[in-house]
Structure 1
């Protein structure tokens, strides 16, 4: 138990990775891009289990995992995210232009929390982001940093995968490569003896 985290704090190391369709038709991801300045994240589960009643009892519970909804607060939304995901267009003068006909892109969201032993790394696979509010206020006696917030919807992939996170036994290689490419689950190897017992 000495190597297990007891607490977590401080969101950091936020990245996004654009979704892409591979030649075999499966969903893949481009290399993660850093999003510095993460302030907070708050994502609520979407979808509650539903009960089916028969014979006068709760006969079956239907799983209903529809991912997560919530907010990601940043010091400033990076221009790369605005152009890659929100599809703002840079014109010939490098002015970012928002076009009502543009459709936003799907992406994976990667981030981590500090722990007392080591950081806990996360990825949400199928995210969309809505346009942020335009807001600000005047300086008073002291200056206050004014952040920007993205509303995030994370939905299951066709495979059913919603998210992944590192655990106490995650391999050192997987942990070290978390931000080099989007981690996709690998099925556990089936023991030949166990498989033959079916």
Structure 2
């Protein structure tokens, strides 16, 4: 029987604290309730090399990785943290000097044959959230928040190895508790690397 994916839940966000050739560190993931939709759209750039009077080889490279997250609401406190906003007396101020964090984004989808498929997009820079509301026309009209995120491969060469995404299916120690405990960026298929320790 083939597998079909459906649903989406358990958004988790972690800050990319360090990502250099020598160091890689993430903050402890924080859950973001209200997952509505998620799209990851990696672009590959392909160039045809011609020789012997014809197409000789196809050379491919990773291009832009566009992400779009839709959530019931992105709380003001989390917006302040992600986008570097100033909070004074409970009022959130946006400034031209605000500095947006790089983040990792985790989530999961349900598998029709049982269990879940888990994901981490490892490093992305979110765009500022637009403000868009409209009047109710006789009945409530939910207005989820859309966040566009531009993802890129990790810089780290020792642990990250230019990786940009991690995904796995439930089983062999992989479940919601272990997957979202920390950002997964190492090879968890090796026996000497327990699942609960990936990301350390």
* Same-fold status (TM-score > 0.5): yes
* Bigger proportion of residues as strand: 2
1:22 CA displacement: 7.3
Q: Which runs of 5 or more structure 2 residues have no equivalent in the other structure? A: 156-160, 191-200
Confirm whether residue 162 of structure 1 aligns to residue 164 of structure 2: yes
How far apart, in 2, do the equivalents of 1:122 and 1:34 lie? 14
SS at 1:177 equivalent: helix
1:52 CA displacement: 1.9
Deviations 1:85-139 (A, max 9, x none): 1112211x02111111122110100001112201111000111110111110111
Q: Which residue of 2 aligns with 1:193?
A: none
Residues 59-98 of structure 1: pairs in structure 2 closer than 5 A? 59-66=56-63, 68-91=65-88, 93-98=89-94
How far apart, in 2, do the equivalents of 1:188 and 1:42 lie? 26
Moved more, 123-132 or 43-52: 43-52
How far apart, in 2, do the equivalents of 1:187 and 1:13 lie? 21
- Partners of 1:12 and 1:111 within 8 A in 2: yes
Cα distance, 1:137–1:107 mapped onto 2, change above 3 Å? same
How far apart, in 1, do the equivalents of 2:56 and 2:189 lie? 32
Q: TM-score, normalised by structure 2?
A: 0.82
Cα distance, 1:62–1:183 mapped onto 2, change above 3 Å? same
Confirm whether residue 115 of structure 1 aligns to residue 111 of structure 2: yes
How far apart, in 2, do the equivalents of 1:69 and 1:78 lie? 23
Q: Which runs of 5 or more structure 1 residues have no equivalent in the other structure? A: 190-198
Moved more, 154-163 or 123-132: 154-163
Confirm whether residue 177 of structure 1 aligns to residue 178 of structure 2: yes
- Partners of 2:123 and 2:152 within 8 A in 1: yes
How far apart, in 2, do the equivalents of 1:113 and 1:80 lie? 27
- Partners of 2:105 and 2:122 within 8 A in 1: yes
